Structure 1
Amino acid sequence: MITISLHGAEFFGFHGYYPEEQKLGCRFIVDVDVSFEPLNDLKDDKLSNTVDYEQVYHIMEAEMKKTSKLIETVAQAIADEIKARFSFARTIRVSVKKLDPPLKGKVDYSNIVITI
């Protein structure tokens, strides 16, 4: 089993339940781990034998550009798209952190994690 990871990808997005969150936006950090069995022998040294993390990044970027009320929805969409693109993936873990969520007290981030 192999796992590729992209951690700490930062995006500015307009996700949030409240209209002002969707207007003002905020920063998000996305982490993705994809575990899989290689399609062929890795000695072949071909990108097609693995999960291309550049494509994973583009999936993250595209989903973060869409506005959603819940970061759970964003994480699920990222996981679903990765699974659609890389059907041989066994486990996909997506974490979305919302930095400085609009709460009364100081909170560094809220976080959700989805594993499929």
Structure 2
Amino acid sequence: MSKIELKNVRIFTNHGCLTEEEKIGSDYLVNLAVDSNLLAAAQSDNLVDTVDYVTLNTIIKEEMAVRSKLLETVGHRIITRILEGFSEITFVTVTISKLNPPIGGDVEAVSVTMTSA
């Protein structure tokens, strides 16, 4: 089994439970890892034989654009879309980090990590 990772995909969006978060927005980092058998792609050197990370990035951006109160909800949507779109993917891990969260302290980020079953 092999892994494809997208690291620190930076997105500005408006998730959160607070009214201020909806109005002001915040920066987020998304890290994604998917497991798949990449041997056919390694041998063929052909994009059709692998998981296209451009498409993975598009899924991240589209789902992060849909406002949610909880990062758990966004993570679940990302995982669901990836598993529905790529039958060759066997496992997904996504971590969504809200940078400088409004939680009353000097906190660099809060993160939620979710995995497929």
TM-score, L = length of structure 2: 0.94
Identity of aligned residues (%): 34
Q: Which residue of 2 aligns with 1:95?
A: 95
Residue correspondences, number: 116
Q: Which residue of 2 aligns with 1:30?
A: 30
Please report how far the alpha carbon of residue 73 of structure 1 lies from its aligned counterpart in structure 2 after TM superposition.
0.6
1:35-92 Cα offsets, whole Å, 9 max, x none, are 0123836311111211110000000011111100001111111111111111221110
Q: Which residue of 1 aligns with 2:18?
A: 18
Q: Is the 8 A contact 2:12 2:26 kept in 1?
A: yes
Give the distance between the partners of 1:91 and 1:102, measured in 2 at CA: 32
Q: 1:11 to 1:73 in 2, by over 3 A?
A: same
Give the distance between the partners of 1:41 and 1:61, measured in 2 at CA: 25
Give the distance between the partners of 2:24 and 2:31, measured in 1 at CA: 23
Give the distance between the partners of 1:93 and 1:52, measured in 2 at CA: 16
Moved over 2 A (4+): 38-42
Superposition RMSD on alpha carbons, in Å? 1.2
Q: Is the 8 A contact 2:33 2:93 kept in 1?
A: yes
Give the distance between the partners of 1:90 and 1:81, measured in 2 at CA: 13
Unaligned runs of 5+ residues in structure 2 are none
Q: Which residue of 2 aligns with 1:45?
A: 45
TM-score, L = length of structure 1: 0.95
Report the 3-state secondary structure (helix = DSSP H, G, I; strand = E; otherwise coil) of the residue aligned with 2:64. helix
Equivalent residues in 2 for 1:56-71, closer than 5 Å: 56-71=56-71
Give the distance between the partners of 2:32 and 2:70, measured in 1 at CA: 18
Q: Which residue of 1 aligns with 2:110?
A: 110
Report the 3-state secondary structure (helix = DSSP H, G, I; strand = E; otherwise coil) of the residue aligned with 1:69. coil
